[in-house]
């Protein structure tokens, strides 16, 4: 990747949309399987944004993962979240062809903090932050879920279709079924999960924006507490319980299995904080259903990453190694089904 050429295109784009701009630094960032991310230092010499800015340039990669938003769509979601008061870096200066030909790209304000799950859960410097994190995240979720779709009087967000009949559970079942149909090996455990999910599907009385990847590893945390919620690429119109459950999916506890909220907190205070911030009661049976669904989805996600390896799309060792991990999510989903709700 020619960093020099990217820097030149960035300077030209920002000069056109923001003001005369010099790119003082541009480095690739690790992580992000399907986007190209860079940290960029900008010197904007005129216009309303004049001054030095450290930003993240986030561009569509060569292939979009199924069911994820493009940067253009993510731009709309992030700015709706910012307008709703969600602590997430603002998205600016949407552009095209900055990194790859025709690929949409956006810029996020830089936010400090640690995202890596194990560090968030174990770094001694973040001990104080872990005390307040559940409360803070419950508030962020309430604000995310205050964003309503057009059918509930909210604004349209490009690229986000509403689920058929406003039924988020049915849409999730259909999406899991579609993914499972592409898997070459039989997965009777996933079939059993889908059977149980269909038999127990809850209604969706409050359709709202669901982040859909709201979990430890996607929050930036600093010593005083939550710095930012990141990674909106899976978001869409859905049920609030999708997010309330996803944070508890076993793999996102990073080994702290006795702390079901992201590996750092108990269920009771988190749900109570969400109820206080949102004004909506948390139905634990519905959260349990979505936690089963969450484990199924993540198991299917592991198989989708393996498929990217098997098809030759990637040669990354991590992608082929993750395939067998589907067994962990299947086991957990079946355990939750037998256990019953919380």
Partner 1 sequence: MQYAPDAPTLLSAVADFLSNDLRPAVKKADPALAFRVLIAESLCRIVAGELQSEDMLDLMELSRLQELLPDVIDGDVGRSRTERVAAIGTLNAALAARLRDDPPDPAFDALAIDHLRQALREKLMVTNPRFDAADTIE
Strand 35-44 and strand 21-28: the pairing is: antiparallel
Residue 40, helix vs strand vs coil: strand
Q: How far is the CB of 250 from partner 1 (least distance, A)?
A: 8
Q: At its nearest, how many Å lie between partner 1 and the CB of residue 339?
A: 7
CB nearer to partner 1: pick between 163 and 260: 260
- In the complex, least distance from residue 185 CB atom to partner 1, rounded to whole angstroms: 8
Residues that bind partner 1 (CB under 8 A): 30, 185-189, 191-192, 194-195, 199, 250, 257-260, 267, 317-318, 321, 324-325, 327-328, 330-331, 334-335, 337-339
* Nearer to partner 1 among residue 278 and residue 295 (C-beta): 295
The per-residue b/e assignment along 65-91, b for 16 or more CB within 10 angstroms, e otherwise, is beebbebbbbbbbbbbbeebebbbbeb
Min CB(127)–partner 1 separation in Å: 21
Q: How far is the CB of 151 from partner 1 (least distance, A)?
A: 32
Please say which residue, 98 or 193, places its beta carbon nearer to partner 1. Answer: 193
- Report helix, strand or coil for 118: helix
* Least distance between partner 1 and beta carbon 191 (Å): 4
- Cβ–Cβ < 8 Å for 56, 110: yes
User: Nearer to partner 1 by C-beta: 49 or 328?
Assistant: 328
Of the two residues 2 and 185, which places its CB atom closer to partner 1 in the complex?
185
Q: Using the minimum distance from each CB to partner 1, give the nearer residue, 5 or 257.
A: 257
Residue 98 to residue 105: CA distance in whole angstroms: 7
What are the residues whose beta carbons fall under 8 Å from the beta carbon of 8, sequence distance 6 or more?
23
CB of 282 to partner 1, least distance (A): 16
CA distance 244 to 250: 13
DSSP for residue 284: H
The number of residues making up the chain comes to 342
> CB–CB of 90/82 below 8 Å?
yes
- Cα 292 to Cα 26, 197, 207, 288, 301: the distances in Å are 42, 8, 20, 6, 14
> Which candidate, 212, 240, 243, 217, places its Cα nearest to that of 228?
217
Containing H/E element for 96? strand 91-96
Closer of 110 and 331 to partner 1 (Cβ): 331
């Amino acid at each position: 990747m020619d960093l020099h050429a990217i820097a030149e295109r960035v300077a030209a784009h920002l000069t056109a949309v923001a003001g005369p701009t010099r790119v003082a630094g541009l480095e690739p960032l690790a992580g992000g399987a399907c986007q190209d991310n860079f940290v960029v230092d900008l010197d904007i010499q005129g216009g309303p944004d004049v001054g030095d800015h450290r930003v993240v340039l986030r561009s569509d990669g060569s292939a979009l993962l199924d069911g994820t938003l493009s940067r253009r769509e993510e731009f709309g979601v992030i700015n709706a979240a910012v307008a709703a008061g969600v602590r997430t870096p603002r998205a600016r200066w949407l552009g095209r062809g900055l990194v790859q030909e025709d690929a949409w790209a956006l810029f996020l304000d830089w936010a400090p903090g640690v995202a890596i799950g194990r560090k968030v859960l174990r770094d001694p410097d973040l001990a104080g932050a872990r005390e307040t994190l559940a409360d803070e995240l419950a508030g962020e979720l309430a604000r995310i879920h205050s964003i309503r779709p057009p059918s509930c009087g909210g604004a349209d967000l490009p690229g986000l279709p509403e689920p058929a009949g406003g039924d988020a559970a049915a849409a999730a079942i259909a999406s899991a079924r579609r993914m499972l149909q592409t898997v070459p090996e039989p997965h009777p455990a996933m079939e059993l999960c889908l059977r149980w999910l269909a038999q127990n599907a809850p209604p969706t009385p409050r359709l709202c924006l669901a982040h859909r990847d709201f979990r430890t590893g996607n929050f930036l945390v600093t010593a005083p507490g939550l710095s930012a919620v990141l990674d909106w690429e899976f978001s869409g119109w859905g049920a609030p319980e999708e997010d309330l459950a996803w944070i508890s999916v076993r793999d996102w506890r990073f080994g702290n299995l006795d702390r079901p909220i992201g590996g750092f907190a108990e269920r009771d205070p988190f749900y109570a904080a969400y109820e206080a911030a949102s004004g909506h009661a948390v139905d634990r049976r519905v959260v349990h259903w979505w936690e089963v669904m969450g484990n199924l989805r993540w198991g299917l996600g592991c198989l989708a990453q393996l498929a990217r390896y098997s098809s030759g799309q990637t040669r990354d060792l991590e992608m082929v190694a993750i395939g067998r991990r589907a067994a962990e999510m299947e086991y957990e989903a079946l355990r939750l089904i037998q256990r019953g709700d919380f």
